Every structure is written in C-alpha cells, then in structure tokens.
Amino acid sequence: MRLFTGIQPSGDLHIGNYFGSIKPMIDSQGDNEIFAFIANYHAMTSVNDGEKLANLTMQSAMDFLALGLDPQKTTFWVQSDVKEVLELYWILSSFTSMGLLERGHSYKDKTSRGIGANHSLFSYPVLMAADILLFNSQIVPVGKDQIQHVEMARDIAIKFNNQYGNILTIPEYRVDEDVKTVPGIDGQKMSKSYGNTINIFGEEKKQTKTIKKIVTENVSMEEPKEWADCNVYNITKLFLDDSAQSELQKRYEKGGEGHGHFKLYTAEVIWDYYAPYREKRAYLEANQNEVREILTLGANKARASAQEVIEKVRSATGISY
Ligand code: ADP
Ligand code: TRP
C-alpha cells in the first residue's frame, strides 16, 4: 500500500507532532511504501521571507531524518524539486469549481476572521490535490483538519477521470483513531498556536523550565496524588514502558513527593529519550551536504514516479501534441 504525506516546514516540532504523526509514520516504514515530502510551496501561504523559508525547509528535512525517517525505505523529497506538481496543479484547476474552493475550511476561516485571503490560500486545496494525484497515492493518513482536503482531491480526480478516462487514482484518507491527543503543559491539546508545547529539539535548560510550568493540582507534598488526570503523568507516560509507568503510578500513590519532583523526572525522561536523535540531528546539521544529497536522490525517485502520471495526463488533455 502506498501511503502519502506532506509535511509543512513550520518550525520547531513538539512532542504532540511526534506521537501524533511522526512516530506512527516512522514506525510503519518497511511495512508500507511511504512517500513523504516537505511542502515548501504550501508554506508560502504563510511564510514570505525567502531566507526563512529556505532555512525552515532544511531544518525540517534534518528533523525528520534525525527522528528516523529512513531514505532507503521512504521516498523523501522537497515539493519544489518535482516541478511537475505545478503543471498538474494548473491542469486540475480546470476541474475545480469555485464553489468547491469556497467551501474550504481554512479559506472560510481566514476570511471570516477578516484576514485578506489571497489566491494561494484559496487554491491551496488544488495544489494539495496535485500533490496526492501526481503519485497515484492510495492512502493519505491525515489529522481531522485535513480530511476535507483529501475529499476535494477525490472530487477533482473523479471530475478529471469522467472527462478523460481512468487516469488518476482516487485516494482515500485515513484518520488513525488510535492516536491520542497529546496534552500541552496547560492540559489543552498541545499546539504551536496555543503556546503550550514541549519541543523535541529544545535546549536543556529551556526544556526543563517549560516542563516546570506544567499545570498541576495543588496538593501538599505528603499527600498521595492522582496520576490518571495529572498532566505531568500523562505527558511522561508517553515515553515510558509499562513497568516504568506502574512504578511512577506507585510514586504518586505513595505520597511524600511533590509535583516538582515528578516534573524533574519528566524533564530527565524526555531529555534521555531524544538523546540519540539529538546526536543524529547535530551530525546532519554539521553535514548538510549529505542532507542535500539525500533530498536530491529522493526527488529523483519521486520524479520517476510522477513522470508516469504526468505523461498520461499530458497526452489525454492534448497538452502533448
Ligand atoms: P500544531 O497544532 O502545533 O500547529 P500541526 O497542525 O502542524 O500542529 O500538526 C502537525 C501534525 O501533528 C498533524 O498530523 C497533527 O495531527 C499532529 N499533532 C499536532 N498536535 C498534536 C497533539 N497535541 N496530539 C497529537 N497529534 C498532534
Ligand atoms: N496541508 C497539509 C498540512 O497542512 C500538508 C500537505 C500538503 C499534505 N500536501 C499534502 C498532506 C498532501 C497530505 C498530502 O498539514
């Protein structure tokens, strides 16, 4: 089965991203054929600083490689390295009604908040459809917020196929119901936009300071404590195996330790968990030529696959003459 995913190069990754999307993808490498790309054209809807976008693109590539994305198993590239996607984007535009795009959540969201939407935000779903359809993607694993975009890709592909025959593969989205929402330091969903994140590759001191801010109940040191609803526990358990989890539960139940103690333990557990990834990250940072080579090889593989679809599309539409 071919799984397909786009990654917005949006800066510091947090542990919600890690357990919610990165780790499940990385763990499924080998069982599935994965196509993953860094969506730098998409990022232009929010980043208009050239140096910043170039930098975010490289940072994202290094983050994913450091966290275990294996370029031998996964086809990994930067969106703009396979320019055929822009050609398909234009061709698909003729099969996308204004009404479909006007119903787009992110476009409606921005305009209802009075933010002037430009054409790239409006047509974002068409570019995303081109991403998906250019690679014969069957399954697109997404968070709930992206379901509508995959549905739009289906609608557009069906319209195209009705006109030209069965050329495009109709994709399906997959929402992983097993993936739990990771709480932030305030107990709400962890999200960049809420400023409640614990980052994966932060500095140690800053990391510990953030973890100390996790909101907890106010109980005295001596008293036994509830672990099931404790934000500190619920964050820490993500990094622990069953026996370490039950040990921590016992420490809560016993009393005699305050949340401050547990937080220091959390900081240590998280720091240790990411130690090997940090090491790999530092290596890549110092050897960016290797990263560029990996991305070039990835783009070559992706382009070879894209070629099959785009040739058929050009021929059916009469663009090849
Ligand atoms: P953010 O909310 O920080 O902007 P994104 O929307 O960029 O994060 O999310 C990128 C990916 O990480 C998505 O697949 C999303 O489902 C996943 N993700 C983000 N936050 C969490 C969370 N708190 N728990 C689980 N998964 C998350
Ligand atoms: N829109 C996705 C997001 O914001 C990123 C993305 C772009 C994507 N193209 C894609 C995801 C194709 C899956 C398939 O997270």
CATH of the domain at 240: 1.10.240.10
Q: Which residue's CA is minimally distant from atom 8 of ligand 2?
A: 6
Beta strands in 148-259 (DSSP E): 172-174
- Residues acting as catalytic residues: 110, 189, 192
In a domain, 104, yes or no: yes
Q: Which residue's CA is minimally distant from atom 4 of ligand 2?
A: 8
Predicted confidence at residue 115, as pLDDT, reads 81
One domain, residues 177 and 45: yes
Ligand 1 atom nearest 8 alpha carbon? 7
Give 105 Cα–ligand 2 centroid separation in angstroms: 14
Q: Give me the torsion for CA of 245, 68, 3, 179, rounded to 10°.
A: 20
Give 313 Cα–ligand 1 centroid separation in angstroms: 34
* Distance from C-alpha of 199 to C-alpha of 207, rounded to nearest angstrom: 7
Tell me how many domains the chain contains.
2
Give 177 Cα–ligand 2 centroid separation in angstroms: 19
- Render each residue's pLDDT in the chain as its tens digit; 321 residues: 889 999 999 889 999 999 988 998 999 998 889 999 999 999 999 899 999 999 999 999 999 999 999 999 999 999 999 999 999 999 999 999 999 999 999 888 888 888 888 999 999 999 999 999 999 999 999 988 899 999 999 999 999 999 999 999 999 999 988 778 899 999 999 999 899 999 999 899 999 999 999 999 998 999 999 999 999 999 999 999 999 999 999 999 999 999 999 999 999 999 999 999 999 999 999 999 999 999 999 999 999 999 999 999 999 999 999
Q: Which residue's CA is minimally distant from atom 22 of ligand 1?
A: 16
Q: Which residue's CA is minimally distant from atom 4 of ligand 1?
A: 192
Location of structure tokens 């050609």: 87
In a domain, 189, yes or no: no
Predicted confidence at residue 242, as pLDDT, reads 96
One domain, residues 86 and 228: no
One domain, residues 12 and 50: yes
Q: Residue 321: exposed, middle, or buried by beta-carbon count in 10 A (0-12, 13-18, 19+)?
A: exposed
Q: Which residue's CA is minimally distant from atom 12 of ligand 2?
A: 6
- Cα angle 310, 319, 81; round to 5: 40
Q: By three-state DSSP, how is residue 271 classified?
A: helix
One domain, residues 305 and 163: yes
Q: Which residue's CA is minimally distant from atom 1 of ligand 1?
A: 191
**Residue of 3, 5, 15, 17 to mutate, ligand 1, most atoms within 8 A of C-beta:** 17
Give 175 Cα–ligand 2 centroid separation in angstroms: 14
Location of structure tokens 């333990």: 265
In a domain, 191, yes or no: no
Helix, strand, coil share (%) of the chain residues, nearest 5: 60, 10, 35
**Residue of 3, 19, 21, 146 to mutate, ligand 1, most atoms within 8 A of C-beta:** 21
In a domain, 197, yes or no: no
Tokens linked to 261:
């103690």
One domain, residues 144 and 216: no
One domain, residues 158 and 240: no
One domain, residues 18 and 155: yes
In a domain, 42, yes or no: yes
Give 179 Cα–ligand 1 centroid separation in angstroms: 11
Give 83 Cα–ligand 2 centroid separation in angstroms: 17
Q: Give me the torsion for CA of 113, 115, 119, 123, rounded to 10°.
A: -30
Tell me if 6 CB under 6 Å of ligand 2: yes
One domain, residues 78 and 135: yes
- Please, which residues have CB within 8 angstroms of residue 256's CB and are 6 or more apart in sequence? 221, 222
Please, where are the H alpha helices in 195-318? 204-212, 231-236, 242-254, 259-273, 275-286, 288-317
Sign of CA dihedral 140, 146, 151, 153: negative
Q: Where in the sequence is the domain holding 70, given as residue range(s)?
A: 2-182+288-317
Ligand 1 atom nearest 144 alpha carbon? 16
